[in-house]
């Protein structure tokens, strides 16, 4: 369960404050995978970071139950001077999972070869994304926060990513940010549309997609 209570978040840019989440009060239905839709720059990634606890709100709070992932695919928390394997072991200890099992899973899944044992500083952005996605999928969460993750890599890797994500969704739910409507229909039950700091919840996924498309065309 995720509940937003008077949640507000904004940024200062060019001496002007832009509010991206404006006094949000909403309880998301448990057990449902939800598409988070909106224009580029609307604040979707910001909301995921607020839910994950990696970003603090200006006001209000988020109440959660169950285990929630960091934004899947987000590689910003890796220590650049540690190797991929060392980072994965550290994350395993933080989340209380078997470090050998997680390292084995990520090494096979990420497909970055010998770079897995090289400092993350030497990675390309794509390699960091593969490492981050593999690490996320290697840990079982009740709710996954996903930000365009299946766009990473070549088509073969994207197919593998979608397959493992679909397997995780059997026993978990997700909040999914993507501009790929087929993925929205494949993975999501309901929708949220973020526009000008306001979020509208749609229990009808088709209605959410229609509203989103109208905003994109407007």
Alpha carbons 68 and 51: distance in angstroms, whole number: 8
Minimal CA–CA distance to 8: which of 54, 59, 50, 62?
59
Domains delineated in the chain: 1-67+141-154+165-218 (3.40.50.300), 78-139 (no CATH)
What region, left, alpha or beta, does residue 43 occupy, with left being phi > 0 and alpha being psi -120 to 50 degrees? left
Q: CA dist 107 to 2, 90, 124, 151, Å?
A: 32, 15, 16, 20
Span 45-72, pLDDT tens digits = 999 999 999 899 999 999 999 999 988 8
Measured distance CA(25)–CA(3) in Å, rounded? 8
With beta carbons less than 8 A apart as the criterion, state whether 135 and 127 touch: no
Question: From the CB of residue 135, how many other CB atoms can be counted at a distance below 10 Å?
Answer: 28
State residue 80 phi and psi, 5-degree precision.
-65, -25
- pLDDT given at position 23: 97
**Is residue 19 very low, low, confident or very high in pLDDT (cuts 50, 70, 90)?**
very high
């Amino acid at each position: 369960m995720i509940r937003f209570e008077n949640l507000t978040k904004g940024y200062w840019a060019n001496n002007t404050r832009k509010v991206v989440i404006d006094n949000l009060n909403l309880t998301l239905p448990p057990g449902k995978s939800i598409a988070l839709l909106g224009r580029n720059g609307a604040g979707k990634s910001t909301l995921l970071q607020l839910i994950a606890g990696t970003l603090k709100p200006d006001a209000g709070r988020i109440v959660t139950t169950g285990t929630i992932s960091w934004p899947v695919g987000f590689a910003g928390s890796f220590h650049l001077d540690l190797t991929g394997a060392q980072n994965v072991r550290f994350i395993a200890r933080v989340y209380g999972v078997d470090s050998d099992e997680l390292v084995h899973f990520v090494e096979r899944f990420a497909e970055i070869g010998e770079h897995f044992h090289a400092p993350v500083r030497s990675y390309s952005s794509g390699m960091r994304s593969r490492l981050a996605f593999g690490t996320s999928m290697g840990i079982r969460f009740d709710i996954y926060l996903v930000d365009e993750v299946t766009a990473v890599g070549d088509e073969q890797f994207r197919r593998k990513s979608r397959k493992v994500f679909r397997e995780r969704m059997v026993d978990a739910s997700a909040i999914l940010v993507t501009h790929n409507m087929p993925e929205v229909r494949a993975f999501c039950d309901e929708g949220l549309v973020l526009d000008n700091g306001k979020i509208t919840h749609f229990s009808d996924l088709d209605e959410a997609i229609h509203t989103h498309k109208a905003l994109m065309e407007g």
